[in-house]
Chains A and B, each alone.
Chain A
């Protein structure tokens, strides 16, 4: 490695730039969230405070936060078991036409969500399906590619021998799922559920198109605040509110994954 002494310095600069690339967009969010006054040339806010927080609370962020959490949770609860079952079947290589099945299950990842939502909205209106139900169903479908692919990978690495052992020892099929499969696959399931939660949590266009404004989630509140001007600290607080819960969840999922690997 002594051949090129310039390389370490260059790589250090490169890494610094990469770190800057990842971090820089978040910095103004953190500063604006607690800035009561921050006019142009100043590099840091002139007055710190919680005006953004009170404005955000006044714009209905609390209720929206609750709704978004609920929406993400419902999507995760529905999409994770469905994806786990499909992932198990696909990993077993017993599914007839598995390439076609996988292509179908991945299709929501590829098709523009607004195109599907737009067509579905017309249909749901005609069939008088409640808007919230339509949003949930569409988002579950949007989450299925993530849960399926995560669980397929997990089941491919999963040792079925443990289950056979349990069955040999007399455990019922359901008992085997509960006491052998679920604990072994808990980290993967947590990861899949997290991704599904994210789909529901961060969706904007489906909620807007199909929900028709009746389901005011956090992204909707944030978007309406961000499209106005002069309320930067409110936008920053709403943004951080949209980021912190999933980041905390990610930490939990990662820790679960570490424990599971041990």
Chain B
């Protein structure tokens, strides 16, 4: 055994062996001399590359290919020539779809953030903490959005479960599924995302809020003062980040609106998908134009969210 151990040691470790034994609590500063400083960085780089390379390759290739297709530089037939025809042809639909998608994403995110925050507060409350709600929210996470859409269909359609529960006749039931207000679509996203927001925010609150809350209570802060000046500021960065992730997710999501939405107008993903799978091959560059626009929109939203979050973090 001793022989094997001796052979297994790298020179660097032999050097380390001569130093006093290291305590287990904290990693000491790297013992390497300045000329060896490159090594941990190289190792870190080598560790991160196997993940970075496929992401750059897939995302880069996908978006570049979509961009080239949308501006006529990668036509399926004929000579490549730069043109914005695809964008021009789809402009009207694109405008409508942008508005629909932004509206759905905003409504769903607003509801999800509010409900998610309430859930997080109930799950982490100092008094009468609800473990059941935490478990229910956790169980909602692995439900695929497609299943959520199917469930919302069975719940909210005319003659669905809710109309039976409330005893409303199908003829007077509001068109929640496929209606003008996209209510079933918004409800599905709000439902799923509220659980996601709740779990992340509850995670942040449970690790930090209790001690601050107790201190504030000791100093005489009431229920509302603690919520306003302790809990909400602590929750705000996580709440903002999860809200932004939810918003961008809904913006680029396809299946829920495809299943529960109406045929016209279409959200961005549905429009792109219909154009892309259309028999008419000239519609493909238009689909790519919608895809590029959606990707750009998502990036802009994320950059704005990051700026806002930095502001939130700086405030404290």
Q: A104-B56, A170-B6 are in contact. Are A95 and B255 (CB under 8 A)?
A: no
In the assembled complex, how far is the CB of residue A101 from the closest CB belonging to chain B, in whole angstroms? 6
Q: A226 at the A/B interface (Cβ < 8 Å)?
A: yes
Binds A, one of B81-89, B141-149, B229-237: B141-149
Q: B78 at the A/B interface (Cβ < 8 Å)?
A: no
The contact string, 1 if C-beta is below 8 Å from chain A, for chain B 37-66, is: 000110111011011101110110111111
Please pick, from B24, B146, B154, B223, the residue contacting A204 in the complex, using a CB distance under 8 A. B146
Q: A172-B8, A239-B147 are in contact. Are A118 and B287 (CB under 8 A)?
A: yes
Q: A27-B161, A246-B142 are in contact. Are A119 and B62 (CB under 8 A)?
A: yes
Bound Cα distance A148, B52 (Å): 11
Closest to A139 in B: B58
A232 and B154: CB pair below 8 A? yes
In the assembled complex, how far is the CB of residue A19 from the closest CB belonging to chain B, in whole angstroms? 6
Q: A111 at the A/B interface (Cβ < 8 Å)?
A: yes
B22 and A29: CB pair below 8 A? no
Q: A65 at the A/B interface (Cβ < 8 Å)?
A: no
B63 and A115: CB pair below 8 A? yes
Chain B residues with Cβ below 8 Å from A162 are 24
B55 and A209: CB pair below 8 A? no
A120 and B65: CB pair below 8 A? yes
The count of residues in chain A whose C-beta lies closer than 8 Å to any C-beta of chain B is 98
Closest to A148 in B: B51
B147 and A243: CB pair below 8 A? yes
Chain B residues with Cβ below 8 Å from A209 are 273, 276
In the assembled complex, how far is the CB of residue A59 from the closest CB belonging to chain B, in whole angstroms? 14
B115 and A21: CB pair below 8 A? yes
Binds A, one of B92-100, B130-138, B308-316: B130-138
B287 and A105: CB pair below 8 A? no
Please pick, from B56, B74, B141, B150, the residue contacting A122 in the complex, using a CB distance under 8 A. B74
In the assembled complex, how far is the CB of residue B107 from the closest CB belonging to chain A, in whole angstroms? 16
The contact string, 1 if C-beta is below 8 Å from chain B, for chain A 237-254, is: 011001100110110001
Please pick, from B25, B44, B59, B142, the residue contacting A198 in the complex, using a CB distance under 8 A. B142
Chain B residues with Cβ below 8 Å from A227 are 259
The contact string, 1 if C-beta is below 8 Å from chain B, for chain A 126-140, is: 000000000001101
A26 and B248: CB pair below 8 A? no
Closest to A42 in B: B164
The contact string, 1 if C-beta is below 8 Å from chain B, for chain A 13-35, is: 01100110111111111011000
A165 and B144: CB pair below 8 A? no
A247 and B139: CB pair below 8 A? yes
In the assembled complex, how far is the CB of residue B46 from the closest CB belonging to chain A, in whole angstroms? 8
Closest to A25 in B: B151
Please pick, from B67, B139, B245, the residue contacting A109 in the complex, using a CB distance under 8 A. B245
Bound Cα distance A219, B5 (Å): 52
Q: B27 at the A/B interface (Cβ < 8 Å)?
A: yes
A112 and B55: CB pair below 8 A? no
Beyond the given A120-B61, A204-B145, A226-B146, could you list 10 further A-B residue pairs with CB under 8 A, ordered by the A residue number? Answer: A15-B130, A21-B194, A28-B154, A108-B55, A114-B291, A115-B291, A137-B58, A164-B22, A167-B16, A204-B255
**10 A–B pairs (Cβ distance < 8 Å), ordered by A:** A28-B161, A40-B170, A86-B48, A86-B51, A119-B63, A141-B54, A201-B144, A236-B150, A238-B150, A243-B142
